[in-house]
Structure formats: C-alpha cells, structure tokens
Chains A and B, each alone.
Chain A
Amino acid sequence: MPNLQTALEHGLTEGEYNKIVDALGREPNFTELGILAAMWSEHCSYKSSRVHLKRLPTKGKAVIQGPGENAGIVDIGEGLCAVFKMESHNHPSFIEPYQGAATGVGGILRDIFTMGARPIAILDSLRFGNPQLPKTKFLVDGIVDGIAGYGNCIGIPTVGGEVYFDDCYNGNPLVNAFALGITKTDEIFKGYATGVGNPVIYVGSKTGRDGIHGAVMASETFTKEAEEKRPAVQVGDPFTEKLLLEACLELFKTGIVVGIQDMGAAGLTSSSTEMAERAGTGLMIEIDKVPRREVEMTPYEVMLSESQERMLMVVEKGKEKIAQDIFKKWDLDFSVIGEVTDSGKLVITDNGEPSAEIPINLISEEAPLYNRPIDRPDYMDDLNNLDMSSLSIPNDFNNTLLTLLSSPTLASKKWIYEQYDYMVRTNTLTMPGSDAAVVRIKGTKKAVAMTVNCNSKYCYLDPYIGAAIAVAESARNLACSGAKPLAITDCLNFGSPENPGVMWQFEQAINGMSEACLKLNTPVVSGNVSFYNETEGTAIYPTPTVGMVGLIENTDTHLTQWFKDEGDLIVLLGETKEELGGSEYLKQIHNKVEGKPPVLDLDQELKLINVLLKASERGIINSAHDISEGGVAVAISECCFTPKGPIGVEVKVPQLIRKDAVLFSETQGRALVSLNDQNLNKLKELTESLDLPMETIGRVSGTRLLIEDLIDIPVAKAYNTWAQGFENILKSYA
C-alpha cells in the first residue's frame, strides 16, 4: 500500500495527498495514486495557471470552439472551419531531442484529426541555447531531424516557423509545435463519453512501458540527472500515425462516432477521465483488454503509459463492427475496453478484479487550484535602465549589417527547412521564410495564413509588452501576407510557478496578451502552459509563443515579403523611433539584453493591418514585409533575398535620430511594401484615409544594397553572408 512518501515521489505535495485521502475516505491504492498524481500534475491540471488563463479573451464571431477541447476551431466560411493548436514538447526534447520533437509533432497532429479535421500544415517555434555550445548543435540536429522524420513520413507539410538562439535556453530548449487542419463545420468531433452503455474503444498502437510519468516529468525542473529520465520520453511511429489518421477520417464518415480523444500526456488516464468529465458520465474500463506490446504490465503502467499513436473513442452501441472493419483494413489494433456509465466514477478492473475506483470530479473539478504568490523581481529596475549615451555608434554600418545578417537568429534557416517536406499536399503557396505561411484550401478560392512568434527578449524586459507584441507582430505578419487575422493559439513557456518572480512574468504576459487579443480581435482558442523550464535554478526568458491564423478569401491577393520587379517603389509604412532597448542590434553588437522593449501602440497596429489588407485586396502592392528584429536595415535585406536569389535596392531613409537607431530600431507598427509607380497615389489615398504615416524611401534597383550615406554593399555579398550564416555556425563545431 502506498503512503505519503510514495505520493511525494509522484510529485504530489503532502496537502494534495491529504486531500485525496479525505475525498476517497481511505488511502488510495498504487494505481489510483498514479492516476491522481498524473492528472494533478501541473502539466495536466494547469493548477498554477488556471486562475490567470481565465482572463484571456476566448470569444469572437469566428470562434466555433474555444479552449478546453483537443484544439480550437474558427469558422472560415463556405461551411468550412480551421482546427488548430500549438503545444510544447520542451522537456522530452531536451532529454531525447529526436523522439521528443517527433512525438511533439505526432501529438499535435492527433489533437487536430481527433476533431475530424485533416491536418494540412505544421509550424514549429524552436528555441536553442548559445550556438557555440556543442550541446546546442546536438539539440538542433536532433530536434530538426525529429520534426522532419515525423512530419515528412506522415505527409503533412512543415510550412513555417521560427528559430531563436539565446543563452537562457542552454538548459531548456523549447519545442512548440503548431498544427492546423480543415473540416466542415457540421463534421466536428469532440471528446465526449456520452450515452450510458456505449462501448469505449481503444484503437491505434499497442501500449508499452514508454513514457510512463511523462506528465510528471514535464512538471519538474531539471537537474544534472535529467538524462536519467530518458525512459519517460515516448517513441514516435509516424507510419502508424498515418494509418491512424486515415482510419479515423474514414471512420468519421460513417457517422457512428459519439466522442473521441487522443491519448497524449498521461495517456489512457487523461483521455478517459477528460471524456467522462466533459460528458458528465462515468467510465468502466477492463484494463486487461488493452492491447499491449510488453508482458506483465500492471494496471498502473497501462493507465500511465504515454505510448504514442493511440486513440480512445466511444461509438454507438451495436456499431462496433463497422469501426472494427475499418481499423482492421488499416492494420491497427482495435479493442472494446469498457463502457460509458452513469456512476460519475472511473472504475478499472483487471481480469474482473477491482483495480481502481475514483470519482471523476476528484480528478478534474476538484484538482488543486493555486493562486501562487506574485512578486516583481528586484532586478527589473536595473534591467530596464539602459543608458543610451554609453552606447557607441558603429562607424562602419556595412559590417554591422553583415554581422546581424549572419547571426544565428537572423541568418537564413534554409539548412533547417530544406529538411522538412514543405510542399506535400500541393497547397503551399509561399516558400518558407516569408512573414507567414500560406496554404490554399482546394476546391475554394481561400487560403489560410499562419505564423508563430515571440520575441522573448522583449518578454524578459517587460512581459506585458513582450506578450502583447507577440500578438501584434503575428497579426502584422498575416496582414503582410494579405490575410485577415482570426484567432490565436498559445504556448506559454515559463520557469517554475513556485517562484514569485516567474508568476509575476506569467501574470503580466497574460494581461498583455489579453489586451492585444481584444484590441486586434483575435481571441485565444487553444493552447498550453509549460512551466518548470528551469535547469539548475536558472529559468528561461518568459516565452509566451503565439500561433496566429488568418484567412485569405482569394488566393490571387496573397503576398510574400520579397521584392518582385526591378524599378518598383519601396514605401515605409509607419514611423521609426529611437527604440534600441531589447533589440537584436543591442544584443549582437553591444552584447546587451537591456532597456525597455519598443512601445506598442495597438491603434497604430490596427491602422497598419487595415492598410495592408486593403492594399493587398485592391492589388496595389507587390510585396509586404513587417519590420521586426534588426529593424529597417535587416527588413530591407530580407525583402531583397528572394527565393530565386538576391535583387538590389537604392534607398534613402529619414535620419532624424541616432544613426544606429535609423537602421536597427525595432519600433513596432511598421512594414515595408513595394509597388509599381502607378499605384503610389492609390496607396497614399489609403494611408491618408486611415491616418497612417507613409514615406517613399527608394526603389528596387541594381545589384547593390544601398541605404544612402549609411550602407553600401553588393547585394550578393549580403545575401551570401545571410544564406551561409547558419550553416557556418553549425560547421564551426566540426
């Protein structure tokens, strides 16, 4: 019989253990304790974040399904909807990068097709430590390989993402995987175990001992012994998931599915209890009926295994055979393992012997809820206090720009995205590297645009503004692609919630994100929280990653960031201010992460978004690119670096502020567009009517990257520096 000590080893506190004993009126047995510890873990219960998450706006005209299901859903018209979610797989990816990242992709895809949608796109937000560390190369190789290995095999394109490098991720890389699928609004499936007497069915792979305690592991900080936890990482099998995907989509067409949920963190435990909780029912499970790949597994192990590629579903009683035939066709395991009851309990038997009996509401509703202490860290004042006068202004901006373009965060990520199949399904309308990924929806004129963003330096310097900027920049990225922003999903990656400083960052980030989402009318429809991103007591920068989805009604109007035609005018929308705090320039050139992040004016952002959307709809601009890390100088360069090679520019920018700020300031609410002369007046009318500053700064022309008085480099040289930068860093270990 377990005792308090066993509970503590499962990550429960003494108070939590006592609560369990009180509620059950007895000591839990080992299986029950394992189930409760997993479901009460931070990862599954959101016990430290729930009180804050409530503040996020989750409703909107387009929202069909908000948070609480396997994924969020927004209406995209013509009877179709987009199903999407982003989820972290940080802890497993640090311990075993290939499998950790691969199963992160597998897990998020199941969340999408569980709801009846065929996944059509994957994006990834990746954050690594100092690129000079050999461990970083090991993680980059393994994580990229893992994402490629899974996504390529299952045949869903990885169409975009972001990659950052910073010392704060040395001991805690972040892997946030985003997926989106499309289904009809009247063909959505949810995780409800309804209909007393309906069979509960297990399908997919067999259950093994892999991943036991994954949810508990993801709820702890790391020590040097982290690698000993490798058995808690699951192993992915994308081939089986491909079969599961096709089998599930085939099954959904039969109309016999009552509810379905994938087995993710905490496996059979979470899928069964969450389905019963949503439906307000109970479940009886005969654990001995669960297909296994290993012998002599205990009920505890079967309930807590995180073996991948498994689903739990409830179908109409008497229709089991229909489902069974489909899974047989796809060579997948199929087993009726129990039934829906009205007991309000999860009852597990093993060969007829009682194995566990727990009230569903103890697992869910009565799970612990903490309002953790919050305290703004003392270091914030010093951190925000950047003395600009102490910063020397470089005398050779050519070198400064080249240094920035070759830096790991800004350099081309071709080495990464060429390992991903970004074209399969033949819907990808933009090459990777543009502001947003654009994927068409066959049979319509529509496309969805997707982007993932977070500048965690900003969040470190001011979590409120940093999180709000993550939302605003995402919306800007979509508008630059010609897409109307609809909604977001988020991955909230933070340190330990038991640290009041971290909880302050969390609270601030939620508030900032809420304000921006409300203003930009992009509610939060799904997401997850990943706490305990700490190793040896050092937390990551707060990293609330935003995945935003937008809609393009007519694919003819979609835009990319790249300049198109020689002679086109280049126009800067918005105004540049002297804002170098938290900039990439400050970090790469002056080796500082200090100051205040740029000011965010959400009214200005809305104006910019409206101008970009109207300009793309009316076909008066040929390209659009948002200005972010590296400022206007890096943005101009990126517009020149087209997938077909570099093209030159001759530009003159206003110089009313420090020259380094003219080039590298990261003022928000700006974008670069290019257009034909004949459309300039139309653009002027548009910006005047919406009261947005604009300035014509030059032309697409020649073979030089020329910013008058400041920068003059052969564009091919800048391009090569940028194109080779990332690979050169990786090669430098060899």
Chain B
Amino acid sequence: MSKSNKYNFGIVVFPGSNCDHDCYHAIKHVFGQDCEFLWHHETDVDRFDCIVLPGGFSYGDYLRTGSIASLSPIMKSVEKFAQAGNPVLGICNGFQVLVEVGLLPGALIKNSSLKFVCKWVSVRVESTNNIFTENLKVGDTLDIPIAHGEGNYFCTSEELKELNDNSQVVFRYCTENGELSPESNPNGSIENIAGITNKAGNVLGMMPHPERCAEEIILGTQGRLIFESIISWLNLNKKEKGRA
C-alpha cells in the first residue's frame, strides 16, 4: 500500500457503542489513517472514505440488538453511502445494526449456549469477492476474538442459497486447521457463518473483532489483514470513483 495516501474513516457512535475507541485506536494509531467519531445524530458522511459501525451495546440491546440504532438519523446517510459503493464495515453490534437496517440479510439471534462468549476463535476466508478480504486468499484462516451474546447468524434457506451463490459469505468459524465442524461453531450460526457482505461486496458485517487483533502486544495481528484490504482497495479505487 502506498504510504502517501491517507484516508478518512468515520466511526459511528451510538449511545451504548463501546468498541468505538478500539476501532479509532487501530485505524488512527496502528494504520495511521485519519479518523473521526460520528455522533449518531449526524447526517453528513460525504467526507469519509469508509464508515465503521463498531461493537457494543447500542441502546443497551434492551430491544432486539441493533434495532433502535438502525433508526438513528445517521443510518439513512450510511445507507446512501453504502449504495454509492463505499466501504461500510459493521463489527459485532455494527453487524447487528446492518442486518436491522436491511443492508445485509438475515438476523443475529441469541447464542445457542444462551451465554455471552468471549474467546479467540479461528475463521476461514470463504470469499475474496469484496473490499475486505482483498489481501487474503480463500481458505486462509485467521485467529480472531469474538465477544457477543447474540451472534448466532440465522437466515431463510432462500437467503442462504443466495448468500452462497453470490459468494457473500466471507468468514466461517472453523478449527485451527481450517475445518468446519459443530465444535468450532461458538454460537450456533447457520453453516458456521461469521461474516457476510452485501451483493456488491462493499458492506461487510462480521461478529469477530478485527480491531482486537491488530497489534502483537494484544496477542494477535491477523485482524490487520482486513483493515489493510480496505486501504488497498481505497488506494486502487479512490481516484477512479472519487468521493461519494
């Protein structure tokens, strides 16, 4: 990636977001990009090259996870931003918001264990037909943390077929050796799904936290590959597309 290009990342802050600072730290201090917090009342997102919906408990998850945040004023602008082909990354609660707002299909329901689970898992890259795994290969595995109570991905069989047919499933939970098994599925997700994109491949929702494994000191670095893929994509596409 070219060092001269700096991109502007916007991190949406809903009441109850709590991984906003972690994403900011990774993007700003680990990758040296520009980064701003965006209060959920804001509506102007045109100055950004990528929008991140961080993890947390927006509105306490007191209703369905992500459902109240999906009604925040900023989400209309994020939808437009996404429809224009710009990168939108939803992590954990951010994934739940993307599903609620309809940018991604399906739903995230309670973990099959009925308990919150925080641990390191392995995920296998299933598709590179998108912005976020551009620097990866299909079949690569990543060690990456999860931390959620409602990360059990569910969708109809039609939606599932469409996701598979269009290579929209980006990550599946797997063993360390890259095998898919019920034991390697930490939350009961259908077909071990850990992350999906929209059809266009510019909106990714994932339950694992790439910002939690972007530095050696916090015991893992493979989350970097996802952020670096976004930056590579911006390097290639920014000039042609211009800002949204």
Contact = CB atoms under 8 A, between A and B. Distances in A.
Contact of A242 (B57, B145, B215): B57
Interface in A142-165: 145, 148-149, 152-155
Nearest to A239: B60
Interface stretch (A98-106, A108-116, A355-363, A420-428): A420-428
Interface in A578-632: none
A188 B98 CA distance: 39
B16 A153 contact: yes
B227 to A, nearest CB: 13
A641 B232 CA distance: 40
Interface string A418-446: 11111111111101000000001010000
Size category of the A interface is 20 to 34
Contacts of A239: 15-16, 57, 59-62
Interface in B204-240: 209, 211-212, 214-215, 217-219
A423 B147 contact: yes
Contact of B116 (A237, A238, A419): A419
A145 B113 CA distance: 13
A155 B56 contact: yes
B22 A426 contact: yes
Name which of B26, B117, B118, B214 has the most chain A CB atoms within 10 A of its CB: B118
A729 interface: no
B147 A330 contact: no
A366 to B, nearest CB: 43
A673 B63 CA distance: 50
A145 B22 CA distance: 24
A555 interface: yes
Given A153-B60, A238-B57, A239-B62, A424 B218 contact: no
B16 A426 contact: no
Contact of B22 (A153, A422, A424): A424
Given A242-B15, A420-B118, A421-B118, A152 B57 contact: yes
A425 B57 contact: no
Contacts of B214: 426
Contacts of A243: 15-16
Given A330-B15, A419-B117, A421-B118, A427 B57 contact: no
A649 to B, nearest CB: 23
Contacts of B18: 153-155, 242, 424
B149 interface: yes
B116 A152 contact: yes
A153 B115 contact: no
Interface in B143-175: 145, 147, 149
Contact of B217 (A237, A420, A440): A440
B218 A428 contact: yes
B218 A148 contact: no
A331 interface: yes
B199 interface: no
A424 B17 CA distance: 11
B60 A237 contact: yes
A155 B211 contact: no
A148 B117 CA distance: 10
B217 A148 contact: no
A137 B56 CA distance: 29
Contacts of A426: 22, 25-26, 211-212, 214-215, 218
A653 to B, nearest CB: 32
B217 A429 contact: yes
A424 B116 CA distance: 14
Nearest to B19: A424
Contacts of B145: 423
B241 interface: no
B177 to A, nearest CB: 14
Nearest to A329: B39
Nearest to B13: A246
Contacts of B3: none
Given A239-B57, A426-B218, A429-B218, A419 B15 contact: no
A418 B215 CA distance: 21
Nearest to B58: A239
B57 A418 contact: no
Interface string A390-429: 0000000000000000000000000001111111111111
Contacts of A417: 118
Contacts of B22: 424-426
Nearest to B54: A155
A466 to B, nearest CB: 33
A203 B183 CA distance: 47
B76 interface: no
B47 interface: no
Interface in B109-155: 115-119, 145, 147, 149
A431 B119 CA distance: 10
A429 B55 CA distance: 20
Contacts of A440: 217
A330 B39 CA distance: 11
3 pairs of A and B residues whose beta carbons are closest in the complex: A155-B18, A239-B60, A153-B57
Interface of B: 15-16, 18-19, 21-22, 25-26, 29, 55-57, 59-62, 115-119, 145, 147, 149, 209, 211-212, 214-215, 217-219
13 contacts: A148-B115, A155-B19, A239-B60, A240-B60, A421-B147, A423-B212, A424-B147, A424-B212, A429-B217, A429-B218, A429-B219, A431-B219, A442-B29
Interface of A: 145, 148-149, 152-155, 237-240, 242-243, 330-331, 417-429, 431, 440, 442, 555
